[in-house]
Amino acid sequence: MAGGGPSIGSYSPLTGFVFIFNLIVGAGALTIPHAFANVGLIYGSMALSILASVSYVTATFMIEAIAGVNALKRRARELGVDANNGDEKQPVDELSDSDDGDAQTEFVPLMVANEKQDALERKLRGKTSELRFHFDLSKKMELAEMAELLFSRRGIVAFYACITVYLYGDLAIYAVAVPKSLREIICPRPSADAIVWECSDRFNSSDLYRLFVVLFGLLLGPFTFGHVHKTRTLQLVSTVIRHASFGLMIVLAIIGIARGYGRSVAEVVSYEKPANIATFFGVCIYSFMCHHSVPGLVAPITDKSKVGLVLASAFVAVLSVYFVLCASATFRFQPEDVEDVYTLNFKNYPVQAFGYFLSLFPVFTLSASFPLICITLRENIRHLASSMTEPTPSSDAATPTGLYGFLETNMYALVALLPPLVVAFFTEDVSMLVGFTGAYAGLGIQVRVALIRGFACFLRGVRTYNCATCFHALVL
């Protein structure tokens, strides 16, 4: 799930656990039961456990890269070097040839392709015996800042392109899930296998869905042109609604099983469709995504010695919730009856209050996040454009002002807003969108970006790697 960390100064490890858990358990959790049920209990359980482990390992590798970048910047400051662009307080010519020779012995700057960065690397490598790297997680280090420090211009463009594709997919999922949920409330599906059905004399289900897509864009789109900030109240309300919804879905499914409406154990165990694992793979990657927000979540934790425990506990808790949610859905409903947005399975529950609450869950939570992700995407597109046109892109570049700045901001806002709405207008298959987003952009962020960052730190002389390096290489 896309999003950022909390905007507060510091918090305890327990609070950090809650934030990481809330970040991971997002919109992807609504699509896991559908994909899980269509794969089968055995294959689904194995794939879910394996992908949860891979996601956890890549998250730890991202943390190591953060510590390595902080160590690199700290040492650069000690040597009077600007780690961002390689400039020194002393002239670059003062670097000795012996430093250059030492740098060439065990370290080739594959990620860097300019003289200033070469000078920085020779300087840092030249005094290994005098200074040691000090690894630190206390300073917040955003992914963009790490990319601009470690990657070449092409690497920066690739990084922003990957983030942009992921955010586009995220917004498309939101733009489909909300109108689809509203359509199912106002014009309920007459049967599980119905594709298009009549809602009134003027609208069928497809027309009503597209109308809600347009209204969704008109109501939330204007926020993309401004600045919207998260608040603690909004986060608290969203968290309460999210956990109440997941808990209620699990309880209602178990009640249905206890009343004899579910499937037998033999039927569930014997059902298997390995051909659907590819889709389930993408859904799981999307559902365990937190890597883009790891820097903002880890830095405020007061006791850094507990970071590993906090991260591991969060992933174990998320895996447990996902497994209980998926298993209860698999035993309660037939695979073909599990909706791609799982909350829709309860819209006809006898207690109407429960049905409306669960059906409106995606509407409230996803609508609150849509403008924030749109603004994030808008700024990423702006930076991607500057990275492709400027010789030395920088995150600190001044934002254009006046009429030109107004037009430029609105142009980027439209580029961020319109494509997801167009995709949502022509498809309502949430499961397909989640699988695509996770399998491509999500995989790029979760595995490749984390791995490349770690190796970039290693090539820059900051050895933070452990056995996870070999594990990543094996996975790739």
CA distance 28 to 325: 12
Residue type at 283 in one-letter notation: V
Instruction: Please name which of 107, 168, 160 lies closest in space to residue 386, comparing C-alpha atoms.
Output: 160
In the predicted structure, residue 113 carries a pLDDT above the cut 50: no
Contacts of 403 (CB under 8 A, 6+ apart): none
pLDDT, position 7: 46
pLDDT, position 386: 76
pLDDT in tens, 54-73: 889 888 887 887 877 777 77
In the predicted structure, residue 473 carries a pLDDT above the cut 70: no
Q: Which long-range contacts (CB under 8 A, 24 or more apart) does 151-160 make?
A: 151/111, 151/452, 151/456, 152/111, 152/112, 152/113, 152/114, 153/113, 153/387, 153/391, 153/392, 153/393, 155/111, 155/452, 156/387, 156/393, 157/384, 157/387, 157/388, 159/449, 160/380, 160/383, 160/384, 160/387
Return the percent helix, strand and coil in the chain, to nearest 5.
70, 0, 25
CA atoms within 13 A on the CB side of 130: 8
Q: What's the pLDDT band for 474 if we cut at 50, 70, 90?
A: very low
pLDDT in tens, 131-187: 555 666 767 666 777 777 777 777 778 778 888 888 898 899 889 989 998 998 888
pTM: 0.73
pLDDT > 90: percent of the chain: 22
pLDDT, position 470: 46
Helix (H) or strand (E) holding 451: helix 450-459
Q: What's the pLDDT band for 453 if we cut at 50, 70, 90?
A: low
In contact, 437 and 292? CB cutoff 8 Å: no
Instruction: Please give the average per-residue pLDDT across 445-460, as a whole number.
Output: 60
pLDDT, position 67: 79
| Measured CA angle at 214 (ends 212, 217), to 5 deg | 105
pLDDT, position 279: 84
DSSP H helical ranges for 6-138? 13-24, 32-39, 41-78, 97-106, 115-126
Instruction: Please give the average per-residue pLDDT across 402-425, as a whole number.
Output: 82
CA distance 146 to 449: 11
pLDDT, position 437: 77
Task: For the chain, give the mean pLDDT.
Answer: 76
pLDDT, position 117: 52
The full DSSP string for 154-198 is HHHHHHHHHHHHHHHHHHHHHHHHHHHHHHHHHS--SSTT-SS-B
In contact, 257 and 332? CB cutoff 8 Å: yes
Q: What's the pLDDT band for 468 if we cut at 50, 70, 90?
A: very low
In the predicted structure, residue 230 carries a pLDDT above the cut 50: no
Domain 13-73+142-475 sits in CATH at 1.20.1740.10
* Domain extents in the chain: 13-73+142-475, 80-126
| Measured CA angle at 290 (ends 288, 292), to 5 deg | 140
